[in-house]
Amino acid sequence: MEYHIYHMFPKLLNLYGDHGNIITLSFFAKKLGLRPIVHEIDDVSQIDWNKIDFMLIGGGSDREQALVTSQLALIKDKLKEEIENGLPVLAVCGGYQFLGNYYQDSNGEKLEGLQILDFYTIAQNKERMLGNTIVETDQFDEVIGFVNHAGETFHELMPLGVVSYGYGNNLTSKNEGVVYKNLIGTYLHGPLLPRNPKITLFFLELFMKKNNYEYNLDCLDLSMEENARLEHIARITNK
């Protein structure tokens, strides 16, 4: 069975190895007997909404985000409809910020967001949120990643989790990311999926259940990934 992975603007939005999320998802999809097909989208006219099974929107610099905004604006209504209908989406850093109402840069200028979710981001010059981060979650245990952002995101939506080490959405809250239906927005680069195999399986199981695809997770040996995650947590916390 084909599994169509859409990587949005990989030449512009690919900070800190966000492409690794695509590699990891493809790797485990093959292990489960699926045939992953990766679509690298440089123009939104290339999207076949009837085939899309997963979407990654990665992070980029302010300049690159500005370049991509005009393209994403062309599909904001359709993308919102698909997200409301359960499209699995991983949005990282700039990709996460895109989903909100607006991004206000350090000069006070507002860049309109896609307004898919009710939040906003404001760039500040007080303290750059930078470094390894650990997030306590109910669904995925301790999630690890690397953050580097000056924008503070504010919302009342369900977060991915609560930060136990490092930085989250902003300097005043311990919340990190957002979870809305089958969408995960986060500031965690790293990339996220190879470091946190439970999130990878979450996205794959969404596809397999939707398509009544018979699968057995016992065929996956995640011990190496899990040991690496725990080792990384131990190094960060010096335990």
Strand partners, 7: 40, 56
Active site residue 93: yes
**Of 194, 178, 203, 5, residue with least CA distance to 86:** 203
Tokens of 193: 């999926």
Nearest alpha carbon to residue 95 among 7, 209, 35, 155 = 7
Whole-number CA gyration radius for the chain? 17
Active-site pick, 93, 149, 155, 232: 93
**How far is residue 83's CA from residue 181's CA, in Å, rounded to a whole number?**
7
Told to judge if 219 belongs to the known catalytic residues of this protein, a careful annotator would answer: no
**Which of 7, 149, 155, 189 is an active site residue?**
189
Residues 40, 31: Cα–Cα separation, whole Å: 22
Q: Which helix (H) or strand (E) holds 80?
A: helix 76-84
Task: Compute CA 117 distance to the chain's CA centroid, rounded to the nearest angstrom.
Answer: 14
Catalytic residue numbers read: 93, 189
